[in-house]
Structure 1
Amino acid sequence: MKNLGLAKKILGMQIIRDKHRGTLQLSQSEYIKCVEEDKDYMAKVPYASAIRSLMYAMVCTRPNIGHAMGIVSRYMSNSEKFHWEAIKWILRYLRATIDKCLYFGNDELKIQGYIDADFGGEVDHRKSTTDYIFTVGNTSVSWMSQLQKIVALSTTEAEYVAITKASKEVIWLRENEVLTLGKIQEAKNPTDMLTKTVTIDKLKMCSTLVGLHE
């Protein structure tokens, strides 16, 4: 076997280390650049192919597009022209924030989670959406924005479903069945960007809270 040294790239993500400062960054700027350059070609391919290209960025390093991707991915089998326009807006946003990356500093390696749910936000079947983000050292390591399988009959029920889903994830992350729940002000909850459409300023704030920096 040959020692190639420290990894600089993995699965389309660049790994940027700064030993002096004790930091590590995961960036997909090159991948996003390739997707942006292929947008004219993507206009000729099935809508689902464009979704898959953007979904990979969202799953790996860009939780801040989770809400938008959750909406456009619902129409893969019956997309219209305005759905493709939405895809192009997501591409424009990624191009404008191409240097945003997950920044792991030397903060305490404590697992912390943020959970939220909307109530009946999906207009076709009135299903609610579960959203959570877990951080280690104040940087995202696990996140999800997903329609609930049931139709919740109240905001309380929707929140309980979300907490149950997120609790399973944190038990796996911590390998510990002890959970501590706490209340957080809506203005300081970064999962707002997964639950609903927010302003640019709010999106920037939520992104920063979970370790997305330029």
Structure 2
Amino acid sequence: MPSGTILSKSQCPSTQAERDKMSGIPYASAIGSIMYAMICTRPDVSYALSMTSRYQQDPGEGHWIAVKNILKDDCKSQSGFVFIMNGGAVSWMSSKQSVVAQSTTESEYIAASEAAKEAAWIKKRGPGTFTEN
């Protein structure tokens, strides 16, 4: 969600014409889709989801624009990894990829390459690096 985006109850429809216009908008369905993505692969959208889901009962056009911005595809994939040792995360990353992949497979190779670099760095640090003192 763009910085400075403010959503409020004052943006809810105030006339019947506005309510009729919004009745055809799949707002709740879009919120559900974002929630699924957040739970499965995109924890970075949790704040935006919490802000927009508050208005499911009576969304206005400003709320819908905010939801569309969350759903907007900017061509770069979100990818990441987490390394776990003894039940705890020791290294993780989640970010937009620096290049636009031509396919899902290529996107997965890019993410695997980043994870392999991190694994090599962790291995180079040695076995005692992540133990408590």
TM-score by length of 1: 0.28
Higher helix share goes to which structure?
2
Larger Rg: 2
TM-score by length of 2: 0.43
